[in-house]
Structures are given as structure tokens and as C-alpha cells.
Amino acid sequence: MRYETARRVLPGGLRRYIYSFEAMIEDAVNELAARLPAGSRVLDAGAGEGQYSSYFRQHRYTGVDLGVGDTAWDYGELDAIADLNRLPFRDDTFDGSLNIVTLEHLKEPKQALREIARVLKPGGLLLIVAPHEWEVHQSPHDFFRYTKHGLAYLFAEAGLEVQTLEPAGGYFRLVARRLLSGLQFFPGPLKLIPAVFFLPLALVLPLFEGLDKEKNFTLGYRCVAVKPAGRFSRA
């Protein structure tokens, strides 16, 4: 079941329990919006169809994407079609930015983060959600997966200071999600056979999350960084 379908058919609590990664993203975007004063300029770098624009109704939202990730998407509502490695904005333009499950689709992520940092004002916030253990998607535009150390390195190279860098769950949530993903390999009504075994496990496994202290097995990471005062010019 796709998350868009789950939003329509599952009760909120159950949906958030099963799709914890998406729930984490929604919470993170909501928190970013709450931290930025009304009227702030916000850059959604890699906005896709602009699914997070509704969180920033009190802000001056700008959605930017190259428009090549998914041929089925409608990029018509974007404010700009642009390469994140060469953003068409002046230095120190935005009060905040978000980059949600987009970093893995960029061939030059370090340059893209430097560009986002450049267009952020000093004190501006950047929210990134990046996958760690995830299937290949939006082929052939899928290039990387990230550890917490890789993300910290990229932030440092962009001159950004990390405020939080947190895993999106651990081993048991990861396995539960992979079990649900496995249902896609069974055609039509045959899905009912593995579902009898997979679904109960997917519901029970997250109860053991507390056993995984390190959370090195994770679906991805949620990161918030700030642009300090200093120089950021286009390379």
C-alpha cells in the first residue's frame, strides 16, 4: 500500500505506527514551519509536486525541482525548474529550506548543499531527510545512500552547523517496513498468503525497538542544520 492510499484508508494512529518514516517526515516539516516566523521565505529544494507546500501557508514558499525524477508527477505548480547545483537565487535569500528524500537523487550532493547554504540567510535553518536503507527508486536518478557520518561530512563541507542528526527508527522498524515492501512481489490475490504472516510481524516488531540502542540499522536520517554568520559565495 502506498502512503497516499494509507492516509485515506487507515486511522491516523495506525498509519503513523506502520509508516513511521513518513510520519517522522511530516513531524519534521511541521516543526520547521513552526520555528520560522510568519512571512519567512522558505526554499523547498527538490520539491517534486510540492507536497509540503501546505505546511508553509503562513510563509513565502518557493518550490524548486529539476523535474526529472518521476515522469508521472505534475511539476506544473513549481516556482522554478532548476538544478540544485546552480540555484537561480541571490546569496542570503531564504530564512529556511527543506530537502526531503532528495539528496540521494543528486549526482553532486556536496555542491547542492553548498548552493542551499549560499542562498540561506545567516541563522537560516535547513531540514534534510535522507534514506539509509531503502530500495532503488526513481531510476535511473538514484545515486546514493547516507550514513550519519556521511551526512555530517556533507554539512561540514557546506559550512553548516548540525543541530540534530537522528535516525528514523532502528532495526525492528526497518525489518517491519521491509516485510510490508515484500508484498509487492506477489501478484493480485496471492498477496493474501504472505500477508497472513507478514502483517502480524510488521505490527509486532516495532514493539522491540528499545532493544536496538545504536540504531545503525535504520531507514534514514532526519537532520537539521543552521547557517552560521560567514561567507557563502557561489563556487
Global pTM value: 0.91
What is the torsion angle, in degrees rounded to the nearest 10, for the CA atoms of residue 91, residue 36, residue 20 and residue 146? 20
Q: 158 lies in which domain range? A: 41-169+216-226
49 in a domain, yes or no?
yes
Mean pLDDT, the chain, whole residue set = 92
28 in a domain, yes or no?
no
The one-letter amino acid code at 11 reads P
66 in a domain, yes or no?
yes
Mean pLDDT of 54-72: 93
176 in a domain, yes or no?
no
105 in a domain, yes or no?
yes
CATH code of 124's domain: 3.40.50.150
CA 192, chain centre distance (Å)? 31
207 in a domain, yes or no?
no
Q: What is the pLDDT of residues 93-123, one digit of tens each?
A: 999 999 999 999 999 999 999 999 999 999 9
Q: Per-residue b/e over 50-64, b at no fewer than 16 CB within 10 Å?
A: bebbebbeebebbbb
108 in a domain, yes or no?
yes
Q: What is the pLDDT of residues 125-157, one digit of tens each?
A: 999 999 999 999 999 999 999 999 999 999 999
48 in a domain, yes or no?
yes
Give the confidence band of 235 by pLDDT, cuts at 50, 70, 90. Answer: very low
**How many domains does the chain divide into?**
1
Alpha helices in the chain (DSSP H): 3-9, 12-18, 20-35, 109-119, 148-157, 171-182, 192-204
